[in-house]
């Protein structure tokens, strides 16, 4: 009887301890997290002549913080973890593809599954250095990285398990992309689906945020936005060591908050591409005369902006209303690729804005600066530096 009582008591204590494993409430003041991660995957060979390679692997170290009760956006997103990540990567062919080192900003959301399990969503972006990029003489086979410096983006979904209140293990699937945004060619870029595992240490015992997110007041009015940008790129896809070209863009669009951190956008872009004019003047094709209109484009687009703190992550896409040069250029190149032909009809953009005043508190009369990658279908077109104003 005594053994039965002892077993029942032990089970009761274990169940009760599991139920009370975490406190639930406000994580603040800010906790600090140190994480080590290992990832592996195969680079997608999406372009003819892609160098053969074994599996890629990445090793990363991250430092993040969580929990600041003074910030509205932190409370709304249930105290995400934000910080920096440093990574080393080997792409399975050091003779051609080399290795890279990168530094990224990281933003991670979590959703509670149980007392110890959480579902995680992670975004990271930043800059990187390749130690063996394309070189016309010494490394002509590296069509993937055309320059030492490039941009990168990674999106990940994972499952996190808390071993103790301060130690967690995670498994994650992510997609990694890196390119120089067509600033220098060749620029096929890296596209790698990755599987990873990580271990995280929380300096203070982890506190699970309340499941219910606080209500946040926000302005639902439609706002007018205007921005100007300068684009930097090299013209073409195969000619190397050419001069940096410029594009000049004006964008006018309407935006509306549908959620406190979600802005839908609808607008029109017009831009002049100096390299189009240069090509028409130097080649004098009979099919298309050299003019400002034939060197310009107009795009109608719809987009979404994910807002956190002072930042807005922007994704836009839409059809070209006017793109005479690219239609001529693709027809002239006699391309049989359907994806290549769509470059003359579909435009895209991904980038980040920084608002001078916090957009969670200031919904109008707010200036911003930003950096974007403009694309034609899935091909990078140019890298934009922009400044604008929300009325």
pLDDT, one tens digit per residue, over 283-339 is 889 899 999 999 999 999 999 999 988 999 999 999 999 999 998 988 877 665 666
Please, which residues bridge with residue 349 across strands? 316, 374
Q: What is the DSSP string of 138-170?
A: TBTT--S--SSEEEEEEEEEEEEEESSSSEEEE
Predicted confidence (pLDDT) at residue 229 exceeds the cutoff of 70 = yes
% of the chain with per-residue pLDDT over 70: 88
Is the dihedral angle over the CA atoms 288, 292, 295, 301 positive or is it negative? Answer: negative
Give residue 21's pLDDT: 60
* Average pLDDT of the chain, as a whole number: 88
Q: Where are the beta strands (DSSP E) in 183-235?
A: 190-202, 207-209, 222-233
Give residue 12's pLDDT: 40
Give residue 13's pLDDT: 42
Distance CA(343)–CA(200), nearest Å, equals: 43
Q: Where are the beta strands (DSSP E) in 42-73?
A: 56-66
Predicted confidence (pLDDT) at residue 254 exceeds the cutoff of 60 = yes
Distance CA(277)–CA(219), nearest Å, equals: 43
Give residue 10's pLDDT: 41
Predicted confidence (pLDDT) at residue 30 exceeds the cutoff of 90 = no
Predicted confidence (pLDDT) at residue 4 exceeds the cutoff of 50 = no
Cis peptide before 186 (omega within 30 of 0): yes
The helix (run of H) or strand (run of E) holding residue 74 is: helix 72-76
pLDDT, tens only, 61-84? 999 998 766 788 888 888 899 999
pLDDT, tens only, 90-127? 999 999 999 999 999 999 999 989 889 999 999 999 99
Give residue 332's pLDDT: 79
Could you tell me the domains of the chain? 22-209 (2.40.160.20), 222-390 (2.40.160)
End-to-end CA distance of the chain: 77
pTM here is: 0.82
Give residue 336's pLDDT: 59
Give residue 11's pLDDT: 37
State the DSSP code for 164. Answer: S
Give residue 242's pLDDT: 67
Mean pLDDT check: name the lowest of 53-57, 107-111, 265-269, 337-341: 337-341
Nearby residues of 65 by Cβ (< 8 Å), 6 or more positions away: 30, 31, 32, 33, 81, 82, 83
Categorize the per-residue pLDDT at 23 as very low, low, confident or very high, splitting at 50, 70 and 90.
Answer: low
């Amino acid at each position: 009887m005594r053994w039965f009582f002892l077993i029942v008591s032990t089970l009761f204590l274990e169940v009760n301890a599991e139920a009370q494993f975490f406190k639930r409430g406000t994580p603040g003041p800010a906790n600090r997290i140190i994480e080590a991660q290992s990832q592996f995957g195969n680079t997608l060979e999406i372009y003819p002549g892609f160098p053969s390679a074994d599996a890629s692997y990445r090793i990363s170290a991250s430092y993040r913080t969580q929990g600041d009760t003074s910030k509205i956006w932190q409370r709304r997103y249930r105290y995400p973890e934000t910080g920096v990540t440093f990574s080393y990567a080997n792409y399975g062919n050091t003779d051609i593809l080399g290795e890279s080192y990168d530094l990224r900003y990281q933003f991670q959301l979590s959703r509670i599954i149980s007392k110890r399990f959480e579902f995680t969503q992670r975004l990271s972006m930043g800059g990187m250095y390749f130690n063996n990029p394309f070189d016309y003489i010494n490394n002509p086979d590296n069509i993937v990285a055309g320059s030492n410096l490039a941009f990168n983006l990674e999106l990940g979904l994972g499952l996190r398990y808390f071993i103790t209140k301060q130690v967690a293990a995670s498994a994650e699937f992510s997609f990694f992309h890196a390119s120089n945004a067509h600033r220098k060619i060749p620029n096929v870029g890296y596209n790698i689906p990755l599987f990873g595992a990580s271990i995280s240490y929380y300096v203070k015992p982890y506190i699970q945020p309340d499941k219910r997110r606080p209500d946040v007041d926000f302005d639902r009015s439609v706002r007018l936005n205007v921005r100007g940008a300068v684009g930097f790129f090299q013209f073409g896809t195969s000619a190397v060591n050419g001069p940096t070209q410029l594009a000049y863009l004006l964008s006018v669009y309407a935006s509306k908050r549908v959620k406190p951190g979600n802005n839908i956008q609808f607008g029109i872009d017009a831009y002049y591409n100096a390299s189009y004019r240069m090509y028409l003047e130097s080649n004098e094709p009979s099919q298309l005369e050299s003019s400002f209109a034939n060197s310009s484009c107009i795009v109608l687009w719809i987009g979404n902006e994910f807002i956190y703190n002072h930042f807005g992550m922007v994704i836009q896409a839409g059809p070209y209303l006017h793109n005479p040069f690219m239609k001529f250029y693709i027809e002239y190149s006699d391309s049989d690729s359907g994806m290549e032909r769509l470059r003359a009809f579909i435009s895209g953009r991904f980038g980040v804005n920084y608002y001078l005043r916090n957009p969670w508190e200031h919904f109008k009369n707010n200036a911003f600066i930003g950096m974007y990658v403009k694309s034609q279908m899935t091909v990078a077109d140019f890298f934009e530096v922009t400044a604008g104003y929300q009325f």
